[in-house]
Amino acid sequence: MEIPYNVEARPDTGLYNAKLGIWLFLASEIMLFGALFSSLVILRTGADSWPHGWEILNVNIATFNTFVLIASSVTVVLAWANLRLGDLAKGRLYLGLTILCGLIFMVVKAFEYGSKFQHHLYPSSSTFLAIYFTLTGLHGLHVLGGLFVFAYLIGPGAKMWATEPARYTNRIEVVGLYWHFVDLVWIFLFPILYLL
């Protein structure tokens, strides 16, 4: 059975179905990360003392990762823009750059975690590290999830372009919205955990 409204907008919502679907999903994601940010507020305001993030964490590495993630957000919208112009080759190029940025982010994060473990700093070491590992770990899982979807869409998923280019372009828009959300979460995580 054909899935309806995957290209043209539904008359009642004004949106194609996947777009409404991803926004509903992102709303639930806002509440998920919101609950953890709320926990951070409770832990921080209830603590007798709270360390400055820059005393424990590596600000330079996190700043570099912030630039990488911002760059990946730009490459996603550039991929989408090029697909709308009918240029699959350029669209795939920018998707490839997005994957590269995501991989760099994860590798840098892995080194960061490794360095903490080498210094015997674990989630159980302090309340600050517990919430740091929880928030950045969950965020990292989201980056990883996005990378799997991009890998599918640049590889086997790209076959759709030959028969349904508009639907494929919409898929890139939808995964792009998810990716920007992941970027948005990092934009708040970075100062709250590393700089304050």
Which residue ranges make up the site for other proteins (CB under 8 A)?
Answer: 13-15, 19-20, 23-24, 27, 30-31, 34-35, 37-38, 41-42, 45-46, 54, 59, 63, 66-67, 70-71, 73-74, 76-78, 81, 83-85, 165-166, 169-170, 176-177, 180-181, 183-184, 187-188, 190-192, 195-196
Q: Which is nearer to other proteins, 64 or 113 (CB)?
A: 64
The CB-of-148 to other proteins minimum distance in angstroms stands at 21
Q: Which is nearer to other proteins, 31 or 110 (CB)?
A: 31
Radius of gyration of the chain (CA): 19
Spatial CA neighbour of 108 closest among 66, 150, 65: 65
* Non-local CB neighbours of 170 within 8 Å, separated by 6+ positions: 6, 7, 16, 18, 19
The CB-of-142 to other proteins minimum distance in angstroms stands at 15
The CB-of-89 to other proteins minimum distance in angstroms stands at 16
The CB-of-19 to other proteins minimum distance in angstroms stands at 8
> What would the two tokens of residue 127 be?
């309340």
> What would the two tokens of residue 40 be?
């951070």
Asked whether the beta carbons of 153 and 175 are under 8 A apart, the reply is yes
The CB-of-113 to other proteins minimum distance in angstroms stands at 21
Q: Which is nearer to other proteins, 158 or 166 (CB)?
A: 166
Q: Which is nearer to other proteins, 133 or 179 (CB)?
A: 179
Q: Which is nearer to other proteins, 71 or 93 (CB)?
A: 71
